[in-house]
Amino acid sequence: MRIGIVNDLPMAAELLRRIIVAAPEHQVAWIAADGREAVAACARDLPDLVLMDITMPHMDGVEATRRIMAATPCPILLVTASIDANVSGVYEAMGHGALDAVDIPTARGDDPVAPAATLLAKIATIGKLVGDGRTPRPAPAAPETRGPRTLVAIGASAGGPAAVAAVLSRLPAGFPAALVLVQHVDPKFVPGLASWLAQQARLPVRPAASGDRPEAGTLLIAATADHMVLTAAGDLAYTAEPVSYPYRPSVDVFFESAARHWRGPLLGVLLTGMGRDGAQGLLTLRKAGHLTIAQDQASSAVYGMPKAAAALGAAADILPLALIADRLTEAIGRPSDEVVP
């Protein structure tokens, strides 16, 4: 991959440069000292990936991410000195389309690669995310699910936290359906994401533990790097399979399992994101007779996953973000036999 580096500290930029050039599959496209330089560099020479710092003079990483994703969209990985010290900036940048975040590696001796395993693993995952369109294996068929009558299954990636917040903020108090979210995000961010989303919503939000059941009026979020599935017994569980699938956790894997195991009305929603994850699963839901919704291009921070769904004919409704909650409320308010595409 050709990678752009954005960091105002020369020592940090040099460390990142050394890590990249030490990996034969990667090369440095350019180095920018702040957000303004990064925006100009992307316009001049768009890389395969940008490693973006958060706190910089002149223009920070949040604003630089917003401008890059608006003018010259490309994958952005936030690489900063302390994610914990910049939580709000991380979520804001993800809302503009950044894919993930990682602490900058700490140099050890003369070996630039040893402390960089996490960073290199995230770069490799993003490379697969952008370039891989494989479909996961579906789970086996199962008996009827017990629990709330209606399930809303949501998938999102880049730009997803802000998009999910926008949907949740428009859902009424006492929303009767269970909600489950698969968001591409590092597991260590999930508790913070759940807390942040709960502030935007009028319903409880929490990470999903293995063995949890979907609950009416509650949003459960996939919380590990394994895939979340709905089991034959109606529980949520985590599985490493398919191991080779690049999207972790995968929206497709959850949608496929929900299509097989949920026996009440089921609504699938695919929001902003890079890549193709969720498109095939949304198509499976539509073919099974469930209502499916994809976010439209104009309101998507990254029009990748919804675009793939639209190309497959997987979405019965393609809607701007501001109308998705109203559509869900309308659909769930109908008799169950009328909740159809």
Active site (catalytic) residues: 157, 184, 277
* CA dist., res. 239 & res. 242, Å (int): 8
| Rounded CA separation 281/15 (Å) | 40
Q: How far is CA 104 from the centre of its chain?
A: 21
Helix axis angle for 190-200 and 160-170, nearest 10°, is 30
- What would the two tokens of residue 134 be? 């494989």
- Cis amide bond preceding 242, omega within 30: yes
Whole-Å CA distances, 15 to 2, 55, 193, 321: 16, 17, 30, 40
Cis amide linkage into residue 249, ω under 30° from 0: yes
Residues 290, 332 contacting (CB under 8 angstroms): no
Closest by alpha carbon to 316, among 306, 301, 303? 306
